[in-house]
């Protein structure tokens, strides 16, 4: 059974509880700034492990001192769903190195 996508109003309501996250092109997106490249790799690995536990996998982009996370739900027509919001909140609960 496909996942039901959020309406835009539901996405914007969910964003109120997600500091620094944006709604871009049917994705929830956040770029985390970290103090070193290695800390970014470590943080991305932690996100990957968490995503595996949620059986919901974001696109991760690792750059110099930054990690960009993009969430969308493929079985909801590549739109934002409760799965994305739930994983974003779980990612926010991770302790990550900040600059």
Q: What is the pLDDT of residues 74-91, one digit of tens each?
A: 999 999 999 999 999 999
First to last CA, the chain: 42
Question: How far is Cα 85 from Cα 99, in angstroms, rounded to an integer?
Answer: 25
Q: Does the structure show a pLDDT above 90 at 95?
A: no
DSSP label at residue 79 = B
Q: What structural domains and CATH numbers belong to the chain?
A: 8-93 (3.30.1360.20)
Q: Cα(75)–Cα(83) distance, rounded to whole angstroms?
A: 11
| pTM, two decimal places | 0.94
Q: Angle at which helices 37-54 and 82-93 pack, to 10 degrees?
A: 130
Looking at residue 99, what is its pLDDT?
Answer: 65
């Amino acid at each position: 059974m496909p996942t039901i996508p959020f309406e835009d109003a539901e996405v914007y309501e969910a964003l109120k509880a997600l500091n620094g996250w944006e709604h871009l092109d049917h994705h929830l997106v956040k770029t985390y700034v970290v103090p070193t490249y290695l800390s970014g790799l470590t943080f991305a690995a932690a996100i990957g492990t968490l995503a595996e536990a949620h059986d919901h996998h974001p696109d991760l982009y690792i750059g110099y001192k930054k990690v960009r996370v993009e969430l969308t739900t493929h079985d909801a027509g590549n739109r934002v769903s409760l799965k994305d919001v739930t994983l974003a909140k779980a990612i926010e609960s991770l302790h990550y190195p900040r600059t």
